[in-house]
Amino acid sequence: MTGTMSSIAIITARGGSKRIPHKNIRDFCGKPILAYSVEAALQAGCFDEVMVSTDDPEIAEIAKKYGASVPFFRSPETSGDFAGTAEVLLEVLQEYEKRGQTFDLACILYPTAPFVTAAVLAEGARKMTEVSDADSLLPVVRFSYPVQRSLVERDGVLIFEQPQYLTSRSQDLEPHFHDAGQFVFFRPESLRKNGNLLLGKILPMEIPETRVQDIDNETDWKLAEVKYRLMMEENE
């Protein structure tokens, strides 16, 4: 990273995945899905260190093959189903501190985020350095339908949750967003203080819906591959 700020990309890729076996290293359009996150982080040019936090030797080997470092394995405490993201990240930062390395800026990058590009990561790092009091930066997607006109079911009947917006024009309603599920930039001291990535002053980074896909099951995986191939065709 330019200047005196030091930064790290932490790709969290543990071995256990029940819904999609070997999800983090499964082939996605020709290479392990983890490789896309590693390559984007390395090409972004904004990280002093790109590492993979894992408990799995096979994942570690693939991570190293694509250029990431795996200086240590996760502890049993942060490898289970119930380990929180904050615990995993704090353990990584503590292990680096033991080795004499500290970071001013960090980014958790998910291992199943093939749509993340080097340019988007570089832009996120730039925004974080420009806003010195920001605790984190979150990529978000706009809800395609106004949430103010959402319906809920009560006793077998549909009702409008906010009936005051029933006749409002869509363009007059404030847009709402949800987490894109790709990465989060954060300041290590903010994570230590807040114990959560999404507390404090969060900067938004809007991502188009065509560049986002949650991958929780086989259908999601197929949809993500279709979207990815479309993106590649558009780029060509």
The backbone region for 67, taken as left when phi is positive above 0, alpha when psi lies in -120 to 50, beta otherwise, is left
- Is 118 part of any domain? yes
For residue 102, the model assigns a pLDDT of: 94
| Count: domains in the chain | 1
Q: Are 32 and 23 in contact (CB under 8 A)?
A: no
- Indicate whether 99 belongs to any domain: yes
CA pair distance 97, 49, nearest whole angstrom: 13
Tokens of 144: 């395609």
Q: What is the pTM of this model?
A: 0.90
Bridge partners (DSSP) listed for residue 137: 185, 203
Per-residue model confidence (pLDDT) at position 126: 96
In a domain, 151, yes or no: no
- Least-confidence region, from 19-23, 75-79, 101-105, 194-198: 75-79
Which pLDDT value is given to residue 38? 97
Q: Is residue 164 part of a domain?
A: no
Q: Is 100 helix (H, G, I), strand (E, B) or coil?
A: coil
CA dihedral 192, 140, 217, 106 (to 10 degrees): -30
CATH number of residue 60's parent domain: 3.90.550.10
Predicted local distance difference test score (pLDDT) of residue 178:
94
* pLDDT for position 236: 78
Nearest to 168 by CA among 186, 188, 149: 149
In a domain, 21, yes or no: yes
Distances (CA, A) of 117 to 53, 121, 182, 212, 220: 20, 6, 10, 12, 20
Examine residue 150 and state whether it is found in any structural domain, yes or no: no
CA-based radius of gyration for the chain: 19
pLDDT at 68 over 90: yes
Query: What is the span of the domain harbouring residue 182?
Result: 7-140+177-230
Residue 3 pLDDT > 70, yes or no? Answer: no
Categorize the per-residue pLDDT at 83 as very low, low, confident or very high, splitting at 50, 70 and 90. confident
Q: Is residue 202 part of a domain?
A: yes
How many other C-beta atoms can be found within 10 angstroms of the C-beta atom of residue 55? 18
pLDDT above 80 (res 21):
no
Q: What is the mean pLDDT of the chain?
A: 91
Report the share of the chain in percent with pLDDT over 70.
Answer: 95
Token pair of 1 as six digits = 């990273």
Q: How far apart are CA 205 and CA 52, in angstroms?
A: 24
Once rounded to an integer, what is the mean pLDDT over residues 92-111? Answer: 95
Distances (CA, A) of 101 to 63, 195, 198: 21, 21, 25
Q: Is the pLDDT of residue 52 over 50?
A: yes
Pairing state between β 105-109 and 7-12: parallel
103 φ, ψ (degrees, to nearest 5) = -130, 140
pLDDT digits (tens, 9 = 90+) for 157-209: 999 999 999 889 888 899 999 999 999 999 999 999 998 999 999 999 999 98
**In this structure, are residues 86 and 10 in contact, taking their beta carbons and an 8 Å threshold?**
no
Higher pLDDT, 33 or 15: 33
- Could you report the per-residue pLDDT of 131-166, keeping only the tens digit for each? 999 999 999 999 989 999 999 999 999 999 999 998
Of the pLDDT bands very low, low, confident and very high (cuts 50, 70, 90), residue 2 is very low
Residue 68 is assigned to a structural domain of this protein: yes
**b vs e for 64-80, b when ≥16 Cβ sit within 10 Å of the residue's Cβ?**
eebebebebbbeeebbe
